[in-house]
Structure 1
Amino acid sequence: MVDAWATAQQVIEITGVTVSDVQLTQAQASIETFSNRIYADTSRIRTRDLYWLRNAVAYQAAWEKGQYDLNTRLDANQVQQDGVVGNLNDKAMTLGPRAKQALQRCSWMRGRTIHVRSAFEDGQRGYGSVLSDASDEQHHWTPMGGGA
């Protein structure tokens, strides 16, 4: 039994590819590196994120099986041969494309947007909109000048 977020049987079910325990362990190590999470912390990871980590390991195992000498590749962004140039992203040579998609769905891999309401939005502080003429009676107006 391999300590991985996916089993060899799940790799078959998800990808249709049969992998060995060694290949599954290698894929797990790759996903741990890219996800910045380790298998030992599984109990602290949410169920939804575990689903995506399982898929990422399965996709990575299938992808790595078809790769040649993954551990000694150069870190390249551009490959040129016979006048044809291929531009690659920063993980293209080490992370499978479907594994990358699965990892991007993990909660800690997404961007965080926090919306802070301004005083000019409707419903703020129970007054309605401060820009609405109908709410003028609800707001206390003071002069802007320092006044002497």
Structure 2
Amino acid sequence: MVDAWATPQQVIDITGTTVTDGQLLQAQSSIEMLSNRIFDDTARIRTRDLYWLRKAVAYQAAWLKGQYDLHTRLDATQVQQDGLVASLSDKAMLLGPEAKQALQRCSWMRSRTVHVRSPFVDGQRGYADPLSDVSDEQFDWTPTGGG
């Protein structure tokens, strides 16, 4: 049994590709490094995120099988040969495109917008909309010194 978020059978089911235990471990290692999560912490990872990690490992394993000499490549974002130029994303040489899509769906890989509670928006202190005429008696009005 391989310590990975996907089994060899799940790789077949998801991608149609047969991989060895060694290839699955390489894929698991890549996804651990790029997701900033490790297999030993699986119990602390949400079920939905485990689903996407399983997909990421499966897609990565299938992608790795078709790669030549993955672990000794140069870190490149642009390749030029015979007058043709290919521009690559920062992880294009490390991560399969479908594995990237699966990783982007993990909860910690998305934006972390923080909602700051506001009495005007969240309806605290008995008023919902400070611009409404109904709320006028709840606010002290003072002139701003125009003129």
TM-score, normalisation: structure 2: 0.91
Contact kept, 8 Å, 1:119 with 1:130, in 2: the verdict is no
Q: Cα deviation per residue 1:56-106 (whole Å; 9 max; x = unaligned)?
A: 000000000000000000000001111111110100001001001101111
Residues 120, 128 of structure 2: 8 Å contact kept: no
Q: Give the drift of 1:39.
A: 0.6
Would the alpha carbon gap of residues 15 and 93 (structure 1) be closer, same or farther in structure 2, given more than 3 Å must change? Answer: same
Q: Which residue of 2 aligns with 1:135?
A: 135
Amino acid at match of 1:21: D
| Partners of 2:15 and 2:45 in 1: CA distance | 24
Partner secondary structure for residue 28 of structure 2 = helix
CA distance in 1, matches of 2:56, 2:26: 12
Q: Which aligned pairs between 1:1-148 and structure 2 lie closer than 5 A?
A: 1-121=1-121, 123-142=123-142
- Structure 1 window deviating more from structure 2 (107-116 vs 47-56): it is 107-116
TM-score, length of structure 1 as denominator length: 0.90
Name structure 2 gaps, 5 residues minimum.
none
SS at structure 2 position matched to 1:125 = coil
Aligned-residue sequence identity (percent) comes to 77
Deviation at 1:26, TM superposition (A): 0.5
Q: Is the 8 A contact 2:8 2:21 kept in 1?
A: yes
**Shift of residue 142, structure 1, vs aligned partner:** 4.5
- Bigger drift between 110-119 and 68-77 goes to 110-119
Q: In the TM superposition, what whole-angstrom CA distance separates every residue of 1:1-59 from its partner, at most 9, and x where no partner exists?
A: 11000000000000000000000010000000001111111111111111000000000
Contact 2:120 2:127 in 1 (8 A): no
5+ unaligned residues in a row in structure 1: which ranges?
A: none
SS at match of 2:125: helix
Once the two structures are overlaid, the 10-residue window that deviates more, 66-75 or 125-134, is 125-134
Secondary structure in 1 aligned to 2:37? coil
Shift in Å at residue 138 of structure 1? 2.2
Distance 1:59 1:45 in 2: 20
